[in-house]
Amino acid sequence: MAKHRDTIIPETGPFTLRRARVPAPFLAGSWPLDAEGCALVDIRVENGAVASIAAPQTGPGIDLEGRLVWARLIDVHTHLDKGQVIPRARPDGTLDGGMIGTFEDRKKWTHADIKARMSFGLRCAYAHGVGAIRTHLDSQEENARTSWAVFRELRDEWKGRVSLQAVGLVPLTFFRNAWGGELADLVAESGGVLGGTTDAIGHYDGAKNEELVALIERFLEIAGKRGLDVDMHVDQSDDPSAFSLPLIAEAVLRTGFGGKVLAGHCVNLALQDEATIARTAEACAKAGIAVASMPTPMVYLQDRGRGRTPRWRGVTAAHELRLAGVKVAIGGDNCRDAWFPYGDHDMVDTLQQSVRVLQLDDDLAQAAAMAGPVAADIAGLEHAGRIAVGGPADLILFAARTLNEFMCRPQSDRIVLNAGKRVRDPLPDYAELDAVLGV
């Protein structure tokens, strides 16, 4: 394993990765699997694409000796626009603190500031082996047009390296007024996804019960008229009474909303009684609602009290949702911002932590899919998250031979391929942000 980093990937011409061990969800077709659910295959790469996948054979090529090869990973829920503001923002570890800190930091968001920080985050993700990102963009009227202009620029600049999607995120109550429709137009013009948060509703502006139902329907109507998918922040609290996920499922079914629906967080689902969890999971499955869980910042934020040890993990009921047939993905969420002071847009690290927090070790191959093909399906990314003949050779080569070995080390010696070429971009130096942040 010590020689893994020295593996030579040709700069030109085709090559074959021999005896690559791939988790089954990353492959099409049926393959003989080992005890962890992985297949041993040869992967032929030509002209930046996967030319063939076959059972192991003898012959010239790069013998990986059974080491793991995955497709590049997907972060289906993050916030590039908020990120990389430490120490300009100083999180206190609370949800209220994150909200207030972000509100204050947004006053400093110029085009140059947003672009520098988002670019930094993208460089981190790319070096770590992330091939696609869906980022939420805070889209209040005073800053939305600037943030979306930066996003469009970066989407073009990063094309061919990282596929970028964006979600226009505002509290659901913003759809009471004209800005809700204007934002939806901006999102549609930018090829984005419409977002709304239910997290604060009932606590800060009085919307609940029938009014909340009406807002959800209004939100879906606005999105539906423009042919937009939706991606919502849902029930990000430890208050079981502030529970909107069933209302969203009912509204999707009642209105016949035809777009994709992703519900992020949904953490207080885990605080409901077992019957309510089962009923809600079934409703989400019937409505076609997918769920994104973000264990790393939620463990940090939820159930926090000074001098008090948290009593719960702050994550959604992922096992129950998956058993009901709901697609559940893992996202990185916040990174070095007013909500969460840690992270590096590394989905390998996020997945490793998520397996432990959510206890996903009963099937590590399927757990890996939550940051790969499952996330790709949720985001509608046709060529991401899988190793497929004719698809791009966007791969991560690990030193680990088994999924257990993968889980036990940080995999800092991973090799990332983009269209068959080795990614040699270094992680950016934090010092580059000093001038941006006024340090």
Half-sphere exposure of 302 toward its Cβ, with a 13 Å CA cutoff?
A: 24
Quickly list H helices, 62-136: 95-106, 111-128
User: Does residue 34 carry a pLDDT above 60?
Assistant: yes
Report yes or no: 83 and 118 within 8 Å, Cβ to Cβ.
Answer: yes
Q: Which amino acid is at 339?
A: W
Amino acid, res. 381: L
**Token pair of 235 as six digits:** 């029930």
pLDDT at 1 exceeding the cut of 50: no
Instruction: List pLDDT tens digits, range 169-207.
Output: 999 999 999 999 999 999 999 999 999 998 765 555 555
Dihedral sign for Cα atoms in the order 7, 9, 11, 13: positive
| Token couple for 8 | 């030579």
Q: Are 332 and 128 in contact (CB under 8 A)?
A: no
Q: Is the pLDDT of residue 113 over 80?
A: yes
Kindly report, residue by residue over 59-110, the tens digit of the pLDDT.
899 999 999 999 999 999 999 999 999 999 999 999 999 999 999 999 999 9
227 backbone dihedrals φ, ψ, rounded to 5°? 65, 30
| Four-residue CA torsion sign, 30, 31, 34, 37 | negative
Task: Record the tokens describing residue 105, joined without a space.
Answer: 């930091």
Give per-residue pLDDT as tens, 403-427: 999 999 999 999 999 999 999 999 9
Kindly give the pairing relationship between strand 163-169 and strand 289-293.
unpaired
